[in-house]
């Protein structure tokens, strides 16, 4: 048995074990696999809807776990509060994983790029992390 055949065999066994179906032409037309207009998340009636709504971050992007200290309520309030503020102020649906987290990380990385080691250390100490 070739390596490719073994890979397909393993995939078939895992699919059967967990009840997952492969995307074959036979099952692509089933209602579970179609995006129907009945689904409120797929309606195109809003002119502000853009193509990024088709992205499923959990499926399409690389996941990263981020842990935030519980003992800093100001940090946690800012983290959630700014998301709530952006939802209110933007004239489109801001989704936490699809929009807010990537923007938060991009802006944060841009800020860190401008820091030297002593500035980074000062922020870490202000947060009680060092």
The whole domain housing 121 covers 55-126
Listed in sequence order, the residues at least 6 apart from 5 whose beta carbon sits closer than 8 Å to its beta carbon are none
The domain tally of the chain equals 1
User: What per-residue confidence (pLDDT) applies to 8?
Assistant: 65
- Residue 5 domain-assigned (yes or no): no
- Residue 31 domain-assigned (yes or no): no
- Residue 66 domain-assigned (yes or no): yes
Grouping H, G, I as helix, E, B as strand and the rest as coil, residue 96 is helix
- Residue 101 domain-assigned (yes or no): yes
Q: What DSSP element (H or E) covers 108?
A: helix 101-113
Mean per-residue pLDDT pooled into runs of 10, the chain (130 residues):
59 59 46 46 47 72 83 86 93 91 93 96 90
């Amino acid at each position: 048995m070739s390596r490719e055949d073994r890979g397909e065999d393993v995939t078939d066994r895992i699919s059967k074990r967990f009840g997952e179906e492969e995307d074959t032409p036979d099952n692509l037309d089933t209602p579970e696999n179609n995006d129907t207009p009945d689904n409120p998340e797929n309606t195109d009636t809003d002119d502000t809807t853009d193509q990024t709504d088709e992205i499923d971050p959990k499926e399409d992007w690389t996941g990263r776990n981020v842990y935030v200290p519980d003992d800093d309520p100001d940090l946690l309030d800012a983290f959630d509060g700014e998301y709530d503020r952006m939802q209110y102020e933007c004239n489109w649906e801001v989704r936490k994983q699809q929009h807010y987290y990537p923007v938060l990380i991009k802006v944060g990385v841009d800020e860190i790029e401008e820091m030297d080691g002593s500035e980074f250390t000062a922020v870490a100490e202000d947060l009680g992390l060092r």
